[in-house]
Amino acid sequence: MTTEPKTEALVPMVMPVPGVDIVRRKLAAIQDFQALCRHELRQGQDYGVIPGTDKPTLLKAGAEKIVGLLGLDDDYEVIGQIEDWDKGLFSYTVRCILTDLGSGARRTGLGECNSMEAKYRWRWLWPNDMKQSGLDPTGLLTRTVNTRNGRVMQYRVPNDDPYSLKNTILKMAKKRALVDAALSAGRLSDIFTQDLDEKEPPGPQEESPSSASQTGAAKSQSPKITPAARLQVAVVTSKYPGGLKAFLEAEAPDLISASGNYAAAKVTAERADELIILVTELMRLANAGEIPDDAPPQVLPGDQLPFE
């Protein structure tokens, strides 16, 4: 008599995941900072919305503001370049290095720009310029531009002076590297994108009077970080147990409104500086073991403190 071998049901082995609480706290900190950026960054100044795209495009001013919010120092190095003066070809690859002056932690980003990109390779000329240059418009690509005198046609011709754009191309590579690094440091790639900001004038190219005035207005604006935002970033980056809400409840309950929100309007520059010094010192003592280190509470997305 033969017996069939006895089979046992296979039970899947569940491996323990180490540091789950740490991961949750890090995710919550990322969500806190993303919420802060949504509150602080301004459309048209810090980011732009390109029709037909899923995400807004982070601009240079927004990247600089993110770097400031995180308290990072930025540095740049050219890691690749082509300068062919005979062919008028210029290409630069730049690395942006963001450094936390306190911990020394670094984030990097890369940016590249070259003179064969359409915005540098071609020029758009007005009809009068075409006549003065003796150029035949037959077969040239055209576009129409709205001006104070109505719609005027422009003609696309090869750029015969790429050499004057050498510095502009280098600066564009630097800007792209900064945006890339800022998105990485702030974990903001699911909110913003880059490389769609191609509306900056490439150099000595004519533009309509209306667009020139808009460009001047945009350049007159500069990034500004509020005291409330500086305080929130300091608390989040210090990894204070419980986040901003717990810190304010313990050290500055007057900055929590009756509705339970962050009374950001009450935070003056002096008060922000005072509380930033306090949270920095508290966490320094805790990390040095001079303050009893009880198990910190889990900081879940629901514990975020919205601005009021």
Residue bearing the bigger pLDDT, 201 or 111: 111
Beta bridge partners of 146: 151
| Token pair belonging to 229 | 């935002």
The last residue of one of the domains, among 185, 202, 219, is: 219
Pair (272, 253) in one structural domain: yes
160 assigned to some structural domain: yes
245 assigned to some structural domain: yes
Pair (251, 111) in one structural domain: no
Angstrom distance (rounded) from CA 244 to CA 31? 13
| Token pair belonging to 45 | 């100044």
> What integer pLDDT is reported at residue 187 of this predicted model?
81
107 assigned to some structural domain: yes
Pair (239, 257) in one structural domain: yes
> What integer pLDDT is reported at residue 169 of this predicted model?
93
Q: How many domains does the chain have?
A: 2
**pLDDT class for 50, splitting at 50, 70, 90?**
confident
Domain that holds residue 182: 23-31+41-123+154-219
Angstrom distance (rounded) from CA 218 to CA 245? 36
**How big is the chain, counted in residues?**
308
71 assigned to some structural domain: yes
**pLDDT > 70: percent of the chain:** 74
Average pLDDT (177-199) is: 77
Task: Indicate whether 186 pLDDT > 90.
Answer: no
- The dihedral formed by the CA atoms of 36, 38, 43 and 46, expressed in degrees to the nearest 10: 40
The whole-angstrom distance between residue 186's C-alpha and the CA centroid of its chain comes to 7
Q: Is 108 helix (H, G, I), strand (E, B) or coil?
A: strand
Pair (237, 299) in one structural domain: yes
189 assigned to some structural domain: yes
Average pLDDT (215-242) is: 66
Pair (241, 293) in one structural domain: yes
Pair (100, 180) in one structural domain: yes
Angstrom distance (rounded) from CA 282 to CA 175? 37
Angstrom distance (rounded) from CA 71 to CA 271? 18
Pair (77, 162) in one structural domain: yes
Range of lowest pLDDT (126-140, 168-182, 190-204, 289-303): 289-303
Q: Where are the alpha helices (DSSP H) in 148-208?
A: 166-185
DSSP state letter for 262: B
**pLDDT class for 15, splitting at 50, 70, 90?**
low
80 assigned to some structural domain: yes
Angstrom distance (rounded) from CA 179 to CA 46? 11
Residue for token pair 């009756």: 258
Pair (173, 253) in one structural domain: no
141 assigned to some structural domain: no
Q: What is the pTM of this model?
A: 0.57
- The dihedral formed by the CA atoms of 127, 129, 130 and 133, expressed in degrees to the nearest 10: 160
Average pLDDT (37-64) is: 81
> What integer pLDDT is reported at residue 292 of this predicted model?
46
Pair (243, 274) in one structural domain: yes
Angstrom distance (rounded) from CA 171 to CA 166? 9
Pair (27, 164) in one structural domain: yes
